[in-house]
Amino acid sequence: MTIKTEIHYRTCNLCEAMCGIKIEHQGEKILSIKGDEKDPFSQGHICPKAVALQDLYEDSERLTQPMERTEQGWKPLTWKQALDKVAASIAKVQKQHGKNALGVYLGNPNVHNLGGMLTIKYLLTALGTRNRFSATSVDQLPHHIVSNHLFGHQLRIPVPDINRCEHMVIMGANPLASNGSIMSVAGVKDKLKAIQKRGGKVVVIDPRRSETAKLANQHVFIKPGTDACMLLCFLREIIDGNHIKPSSALDLVDEDVSALSSQLTDYSFAYASKYCGIPETELKQVFNEFVAAEKAVLYGRMGVSVQEFGLLSQYVIMLINLLTGRVDEEGGMMFAKPAADIVKNSGPGYVAKRHSRVRNLPDFNGEFPVATLADEILTPGDGQIKAMLTVAGNPVLSTPNGEKLDEALDNLDFMVCIDYFINETTRHANIILPPVSPLEREHYDLSFHNLAVHNHAKYSPAFLQKNKEQQHDWQIYLGLHQRLAKGVSFSQKLMRGLTRWLGPDFLLNAMLKRGPYSLSLKQLKKQPHGIDLGPLQSQLPAVLSHIDKKIHINSAFYFADLDRLSKKIEQTLNEQKSSNALLIGRRDVRTNNSWMHNSKRLVKGKNRCTLLMHPEQAKQLGLSTGQMVAVSSRVGRVEIELEISDEIMPNVVSIPHGWGHGRKGVKQSTASQHAGVSVNDLTDETLIDELCGNAAVNGVPVSIRAA
Ligand SMILES: Nc1nc2c(c(=O)[nH]1)N[C@H]1C(S)=C(S)[C@@H](COP(=O)(O)OP(=O)(O)OC[C@H]3O[C@@H](n4cnc5c(=O)[nH]c(N)nc54)[C@H](O)[C@@H]3O)O[C@H]1N2
Ligand SMILES: Nc1nc2c(c(=O)[nH]1)N[C@H]1C(S)=C(S)[C@@H](COP(=O)(O)OP(=O)(O)OC[C@H]3O[C@@H](n4cnc5c(=O)[nH]c(N)nc54)[C@H](O)[C@@H]3O)O[C@H]1N2
Ligand code: SF4
Ligand SMILES: [Mo]
């Protein structure tokens, strides 16, 4: 009997781009994964990673039942045994040492997981600890704080209206490799080319001539970590040079922004030029073209956010857009209007309400900076973390000084990980609870429709039916809530029961119905390619969460950081003499942070975990391409293959993150064969953006010599 060939349509959930895919299959056998041309958002675009959804599903090393680490190695447990043991062990540690003795780390894939997003509160209430950490503090934390202050909600983040903009300045982002971040846009290459076809211009400011820079009309090298100097200079010039452009958004600000320039007198073009390493004439030209352009936007991401002045930089980027009339205007920074509005469904966050025990670092919305997680485990005293739970995270590879954390995790009384793999982090677990893979669950992008450059709504049903035994992330959370949460009210029990019975669909349906288009899940299910909800629209002041419906500039909070900036910028100049380069990161289109290296299709080909260095510097150090070099920083040392290229600035070197699968006990054989080294064995947990505690993984002083 021949099995019929069928097509399943869904959205790829691996990155933020939300590409529509079509999976050709015979029963459970996947024949191909291609782009869905009928998806109105992605119009057929995919990247090489889409096929890895199949590899992930078929990976024989992906765990499909709970595992316990024993003296004799890893042993399977039933779900009931595993959840009972986990609950008992957590309860024991918390009884002995207090609630906060349990630490929690939430990794990036949590935000790509519908059921997880909708039910994480059950897990967090069940655990009742204030020791919460996440990948946010090695990533987009500055965006949340700026939005929280200005617009009243951490998730009300405007995105570049790339489809209508005519002049786009990109700082510290490489969307051609990353496929866009805090800017969900499938097929970003075509969208950038379209700006050029419209007669517009794309400018990239980056210490590396990245893939995006190569496509751009202009690329400007900037010394890592100095973006704030350039941005503050631009801000001052806008005010002093009468470039403020009236706009409805500007009418809503609660401060006299023109008064800010009195605090910025230092930030001349000459000053910015000296520290950023950009010729003054080029700075002026970039500035003049930006302010003069009809529809322009200034966009900064990873390279600007995750450095020592990430928060100040993201703040000034927003002010520059605001003062030049580019917020909430076509072609500028605009707010998406998602069908299920996560902003309306969550409370506003708070900044620095509490401080971490050991290093006194500020929290954001109840989460402490992950750069201090190892300190909280290693430092004895009241409130010390004695047990850990990680969900969809690999902090040993993804957070600064991963080696220290790796050692710290060995000191725990108990650790549980909700994850698919025995990797660098989860190998420390006593118990691993593996949820189903993405193809076995329904999907709707709660986070990324909110950050999309075009309004759109799409629901994907599960492609493959999980067996009864397997658990979704959300079922694991509810299982732990049921076992651990105390004093649960009748109504909470009822909601938990309903959620368990009906799944995340019913919660999503309620959000859709309350949303701005009053859609229902039934309607979405009828449209397997998704529903086009039109271009971005101006939405101020309606989308402001502040009661007074104003934009709160909060300048005192940010400008207090100027002093630290001036001191640091001088100090870095001196430091550079003792180290010989500043280390930055990079992404490759075939990677996804640390966790897709077990796909043969993604790791094949030339070694991508190399150290990039400028030819002049290589010559000075007597090094040549292909040789092994030793890179050391304050915290560690790695040996890595050298790749010489003039695409990187002199005295700057780059290593991609997410590699380093050679650690003992990792059970991902393909990844281990292509192990690479972890850049986060060099990044320094004490090098942070002190204003918010975000890690600074870009701009790390390192020394290099032949291995
Ligand atoms: N293929 C692939 N795609 C991904 C991911 C992945 O791992 N692989 N990860 C996903 C995730 S979680 C995220 S958050 C996004 C991130 O997406 P992006 O924000 O686009 O991040 P990167 O590609 O790392 O680009 C950062 C750029 O900043 C530059 N840079 C470094 N330091 C500085 C600096 O001090 N100043 C300036 N101006 N530039 C600097 C780097 O050279 C680099 O080109 O990508 C997502 N998409
Ligand atoms: N030096 C340096 N460090 C960086 C960065 C950088 O540019 N440079 N980038 C930073 C950024 S932007 C990010 S977002 C972080 C990422 O940091 P993390 O989120 O800590 O790391 P990931 O590599 O994304 O690991 C994801 C884990 O989740 C598991 N997983 C995947 N999907 C699911 C799921 O649906 N459910 C469950 N339960 N588990 C799942 C995977 O098996 C993997 O173990 O890394 C950061 N670290
Ligand atoms: S760009 Fe690639 S990884 Fe990202 S959603 Fe599209 S296909 Fe998936
Ligand atoms: Mo990220």
pLDDT, tens digit, for every residue of 390-449?
999 999 999 999 999 999 999 999 999 999 999 999 999 999 999 999 999 999 999 999
Q: Is the CB of 205 under 6 A from ligand 1?
A: yes
Protein residues placing their CB within 5 Å of the ion ligand 4:
139
Q: What is the DSSP letter of 551?
A: B
Residue 520 exposed, middle or buried by CB count within 10 Å (0-12, 13-18, 19+)? middle
Least confident of 66-70, 569-573, 622-626: 569-573
- Mean pLDDT along residues 621-632: 97
pLDDT in tens, 477-525: 999 999 999 999 999 999 999 999 999 999 999 999 999 999 999 999 9
Nearest of 329, 294, 313 to residue 161 by alpha carbon: 329
Which neighbouring-strand residues pair with 688?
A: 695
Residues 521-549 pLDDT 10s: 999 999 999 999 999 999 999 999 999 99
Whole-number Å distance between alpha carbons of 618 and 645:
9
Distance separating alpha carbons of residues 310 and 695, to the nearest angstrom: 9
CA distance 305 to 313: 7
Atom of ligand 3 nearest to the CA of 50: 7
Say how far apart CA 463 and CA 352 lie, in whole Å. 43
Instruction: Give the pLDDT of residue 569.
Output: 87
Neighbours of 416 (CB within 10 A): 27
Helix H or strand E segment including 259: none
Dist. CA 277–CA 300, nearest whole Å = 18
Q: Determine whether the shortest distance from the Cβ of 393 to ligand 2 is under 6 A.
A: yes
> What tens digit of pLDDT does each residue of 232-254 get?
999 999 999 999 999 999 999 99
**Residue nearest (by alpha carbon) to ligand 1 atom 6:** 592
Residue nearest to atom 47 of ligand 1 (CA): 178
- Give the pLDDT of residue 205: 98
Q: How far is Cα 91 from Cα 88, in angstroms, rounded to an integer?
A: 5
What's the pLDDT score for residue 445?
98
Residue 51 CA to ligand 4 centre (angstroms): 21
Pocket test for ligand 2, best of 143, 308, 398, 480 (most atoms within 8 A of CB): 398
pLDDT at residue 570 tops 90: no
- Give the strand pairing for 531-535 and 454-457: antiparallel
pLDDT digits (tens, 9 = 90+) for 152-176: 999 999 999 999 999 999 999 999 9
Cβ partners under 8 Å of residue 87, min gap 6: 480, 483, 484
Can you give 491-525 as a three-state secondary structure string?
Answer: HHHHHHHHHHHHCHHHHHHHHHHHCCCCCCHHHHH
Distance between CA atoms of residues 701 and 276, nearest Å = 16
* Alpha-carbon span 615 to 650, nearest angstrom: 8
Cβ atoms of 524 and 512 within 8 Å: the answer is: yes
Cβ of 269: how many Cβ atoms within 10 Å? Answer: 20
Q: Given this model, what pLDDT does residue 335 score?
A: 98
Atom of ligand 1 nearest to the CA of 590: 1
Q: Is the dihedral of CA 642, 644, 650, 652 positive or negative?
A: negative
Query: Can you tell me which atom of ligand 3 is nearest the CA of 48?
Result: 2
Residue 575 has pLDDT above 90, yes or no: no
Cα–Cα–Cα angle for 172, 174, 177, rounded to 5 degrees? 155
**Element of type H or E holding 684:** none
Strands lying side by side in the sheet with 218-220 = 218-220, 201-205, 167-171, 296-300
Predicted pLDDT of residue 529: 98
**Res 578: pLDDT:** 59
Percentage of the residues of the chain whose pLDDT score is greater than 90: 98
Å from CA of 12 to ligand 4 middle: 16
**3 state SS of 4:** coil
The CA distance from 437 to 419, in Å, is 10
The 10 Å Cβ neighbour count of residue 669 is 11
Whether the bond into 175 is cis, omega within 30 of 0: no
Beta-bridge partner residues of 334: 159
Above pLDDT 70, what percent of the chain?
Answer: 99
C-alpha 214: how far from its chain's center? 24
Backbone angles phi, psi at 460, to 5 degrees: -115, 125
Cα 547 from Cα 299, distance rounded (Å)? 28
Report whether 104 contacts 124 (CB < 8 A): yes
* Among 329, 374, 287, CA closest to 158: 329
If one residue of 302, 316, 584, 652 were mutated to test the ligand 1 pocket, choosing by the most ligand atoms within 8 A of its CB, it would be 302
Alpha-carbon distances, residue 41 vs 10, 168, 419 (angstroms)? 12, 21, 30
Q: Give the model's pLDDT for residue 261.
A: 95
Residues 306-322: tens digit of each pLDDT: 999 999 999 999 999 99
The yes-or-no verdict on residue 576 having pLDDT over 90 is no
DSSP SS3 for 644: strand
What is the per-residue pLDDT for 571?
82
Task: Name the residue among 200, 186, 640 with its Cα closest to residue 448.
Answer: 186
Domains of the chain by start residue, with CATH = 5-58 (2.20.25.90), 67-138+342-443+455-534 (3.40.50.740), 141-338+551-559 (3.40.228.10), 576-706 (2.40.40.20)
What average pLDDT does the chain have?
97
Cβ–ligand 1 contact at 184 (below 6 Å): no
Indicate the top mutation candidate among 157, 234, 584, 651 to test ligand 1's pocket, ranked by most ligand atoms within 8 A of CB: 584
Neighbours of 497 (CB within 10 A): 12
What average pLDDT score do residues 107-120 get? 98
Residue carrying structure tokens 């990039």: 612
C-alpha of 500 from chain center: 29
Question: Does ligand 2 lie within 6 Å of residue 561's CB atom?
Answer: no
Looking at the predicted structure, is the pLDDT value of residue 370 above 80?
yes
Measure the CA–CA gap between 241 and 233, rounded to whole angstroms: 11
CB 27 within 8 A of CB 3: yes
- Ligand 2, atom 30: closest residue by C-alpha: 392
Tens of pLDDT, residue by residue over 653-685, are 999 999 999 999 999 999 999 999 999 999 999
Question: What is the tens place of the pLDDT at every residue in 50-106?
Answer: 999 999 999 999 999 999 999 999 999 999 999 999 999 999 999 999 999 999 999
